[in-house]
Structures are given as C-alpha cells and as structure tokens.
Amino acid sequence: MNKYKETNPGKRKFEGRKKEAATSSAEYLQVGQRIVVTIKRIGINGEGVGYYRRKAVFIDGALPDEVVKAKVTRIEPNLIYAELTEIEKRSPMRKKPDCPVFDRCGGCQLQHMKYEGQLQAKEEIVREAFRRYAGAEDVRIKPILGMEQPWGYRNKAQVQLGFEKERLITGLYEPGTHKLVDISGCPIQHSKVNEAVDTIRDILTALRIPVYKERGNTGSVRNVVVRAGLQSGELQVTFVTATDKLPQREALVAAIRRALPEVTTIAQNINPKNTSLIFGERTSILWGKETIEESLGDLPFALSPRAFFQLNPEQTVKLYETVRVAAALTGRETVIDAYCGTGTIGLWLAPYAKEVRGIEAIPEAVDDARRNAERSGRANAAFYAGKAEELLPRWVKQGVSPDVVVVDPPRTGCDARLLRTLVQTKPKRIVYVSCNPSTLAKDCKVLQDGGFRIEWVQPVDMFPHTVHVEVVCSLIYKGFDSLKC
C-alpha cells in the first residue's frame, strides 16, 4: 500500500525530473564509466562520433545512426574517448568485415561498413571540414566518385618480415604495438601483389635467409616491397636490408626468376637506421631493368624502386580528369603545377595548355618528371627544382602570368608563403588537390579571404575501406565567369 498521497502527481513528476537532472549534471564523469551515445558521423580516423553532455565522444567501431553503450577510456576538456561495449541500435550499413584481421591490422578502418555507407561518410567528412574550418555551410560538394569494384585496387605492398610461432610471416604492425599481423591475402591488395609476396616469403623460408630482428640488431632482410604494373603486367621486387650484404643473393634472384616470371626488376635498398621510414638512401639493382613500366591513360611512366606513384591507378584517372575539368583549359593558358612531384598532374594537363611549369622541392623527383615528360612527348611541360613560394613570385616579376595554379600539397597543407603568393598573384583559377579535408578547408578560408570563391568540391574515393578521401577543389578569382559543371 502506498503511504504517500498523490495530491499533485504532475507536479511530483516535474520536481523529480528536475532533481534527476541536477543530480546528473553534478555527477563527475570518470574513466571506466559506462555511457550511452547516439553516433552522428564518422571522424577523420574512422571512429564513430557522438555527443555526451555537449562533449564530442569518439568510439572506435561505432557507425552513424547507431545507439551504443561504451566505456570511457580517456577524458579531455572538450573530448571523451570510449570503448564500444554494446550496440543497442544497429546501423543498416553495418556488415561483417571481409578481412579476418581487419580489427588488428590497422590498414583499413571501415570494412565493417557497406561501401555505399563509406561513400556517404566520406562526403560528410568533407562537408564537416568546410563547415568547421572554412565557415562554408553552402559549399557545393559533388557526389563522391567511388569504385564499381572496391577490392584488390592497391598496386603496391610494403610488408614487414617477422615470425609467428617459428613461421615466417609478412604483415603490418598492429597499431600502437610492435606485434606483427599476418596480412596474407589482403583483400585490398591486387591479387598479383599478394601472390608475389607469398611466393617470396616461401623462398626466403626455404633458403633460410636471416630476417632482421630489432632486438639484438641481427639478421638482414627488413621489408619486402612489391609493385605491379597493372597495364604492363610487370612486377618489381625490392628487398630492404639492414646490412650491405644480402645473404644468398644469387640463389634468391634465381629462385624468384623461376617462380615469378612476371618479375622484371629485383632490387636491394639498404636502410641500417632504426627508423620508421622503410627506405634508406642507397638502392642497387640485383637483376633486371632499373624501372617498371606503367601508364595512366596514354601517359607512360618508368618507375624506379623508390619512385612515388599513385596506389590506385583506376581512381587516379578519375582524379586527374577532375583536375582537368577544374582547370577549364582552352589551350591558351599557362599552368603552374606546384608540389608537382614526378609531374603526373602537370603532364596530364599539358596537352590542353599552352605551357606547364612544375615546381618540386625534391631534385630526384624533378629528374623523374623531366624523364616522364620526354617519354610522353609533352614538349610544353618543364619542371624546376625549388620551392613554389620562392619560384612563383620570381617568375611573376619576370613577366610570367599564370592563368591556372594547381597545388597538391602534403597532408599539412600549403605553405603559408605560397598562399600569400597566390593571393598576391591572383591567377584566374586555383585547383587544389588534397588528401586532408581539414587542411584543405583551412587553406580555402585563406584564399576566400584573399578574393577567391569556391566553385565546387569533388571528393574521390582513392582508398576504399579506409577513412582516407582525396578531394579536388575548384576556386576562381572573383570577377571571372565560373565554369558551369
């Protein structure tokens, strides 16, 4: 029997809710506490992002539109990190990962999400970056360019060597650890690359060639790098060693040639340093050609073992075609390709421009760009070693007036001096290619303040099943008519 008389039940419920809210607000959130979170979006590292008491909560493995229970693992002034413990409401985009080591390897972040969901999430990452860092709520973001078959796209593998229960394995280190995860048969690597890595592992095992061990600084072979020319059908194999001497070198070369007739280059790179960088400074050819043949469209390339080349050629063509559309070339323009690397973008644009000038700080890359220009017959493309923020204003003083400037900077974005130079130079168009939406949006804010207008933004899914997204942004100097796309 209830001994309390409900003289005003509505008032009692209201007062109770007030008391509960006050108690909840007074509670101190602690590490180890369980919380319930509704996931709103995917973060830049692939984690689910929701909010708890107006603080952003980052939860690995959670997907948008899910309601999850999570255990708090770290608390910062405006952020909470938590570990997923239970899914109360499951996203329709959730799926079983295709890779058995997805949750350990760290190479992919989104295999537990259907591909259409991944594309939506990446569009939202780009949109959120422009909202947050450029204050652009109404920027025109085109539908992301995805892949029809988003598997087996990577044309290059760089694997560590180690042992698992006395068995030699090839793989990647589990994030935050020094534990090697066997990635044999990786579903995002091209099948030819996977087959070659497995075959080479078996050859190393049969010949008992000593693998480098960091503890004790013993052994020789640290990494195996395999690159496939998807157009040429050629394979390039590079052994990264901690020592100048590669044990059983002749027997190793002979065995690879017998087992893998597609191999046209076998190289050795020497890296004796205790570093996270894979390659050292010295490379020698043990057998075969110095370069592997590859092409993008009708553009041929000769790639040495250390030369940079896009890992997903199919999507690279879409990316470069997007750059060409953004440049809006008529054949009369002077194009500056800043951060040009080995010249791929500049050479792609050269047939449509009057002149292309590429700028790159690494002299070896400039040499590659010049050779690529000669091979492809792009006589109107020239490449220069230096810094864009120094060469561009010098050229302007000499009377060079760029119509289009293409920038494809590292993840940190454009150098501040280059942004100032672009604002001062006022080219008709800037085509900004970025692998980091956050720094892209920040740099676009500077360019907007300097008189440029964002025409449109095109995301391109270069790396399905990872959180990475490539973006092309078309900017036009105010006063020029925009290209209608």
Residue 390 phi/psi, 5-degree rounding, is -105, -45
Lookup result for tokens 């041929």: 300
For residue 274, give both structure tokens.
Answer: 């205790």
- Tell me if 32 sits within 8 A of 12, measured CB to CB: no
User: Buried b / exposed e across 141-164, counting CB within 10 Å, b at 16+?
Assistant: beebbbbeebbebbbbbebbbbee
- CA 319, 323, 329, 331 dihedral sign is negative
What is the residue-wise DSSP string for 416-462?
HHHHHHHHHH--SEEEEEES-HHHHHHHHHHHHHTTEEEEEEEEE-S
What is the residue-wise DSSP string for 319-345?
HHHHHHHHHT--S--EEEEET-TTSHH
Cα–Cα dist 193/174, whole Å: 21
- CA 299, 302, 308, 310 dihedral sign is positive
Strand partners, 34: 71
How far the first Cα of the chain sits from its last, in Å, is 74
Within 156-262, strands assigned E span: 156-164, 167-173, 180-182, 221-228, 235-241
389: enclosing H helix or E strand: helix 388-397
CA-based nearest residue to 383, from 367, 396, 395, 406: 367
Catalytic residue among 105, 340, 435, 485: 435
99 is catalytic: no
User: Buried b / exposed e across 321-341, counting CB within 10 Å, b at 16+?
Assistant: ebbbbbbbbeeebbbbbbbbb
For residue 341, give both structure tokens.
Answer: 């690397």
Amino acid at 6: E
User: Buried b / exposed e across 29-38, counting CB within 10 Å, b at 16+?
Assistant: eeeeeebebb
* DSSP at 28: P
Residue 375 DSSP SS3? helix
Residue positions annotated with a catalytic role: 435
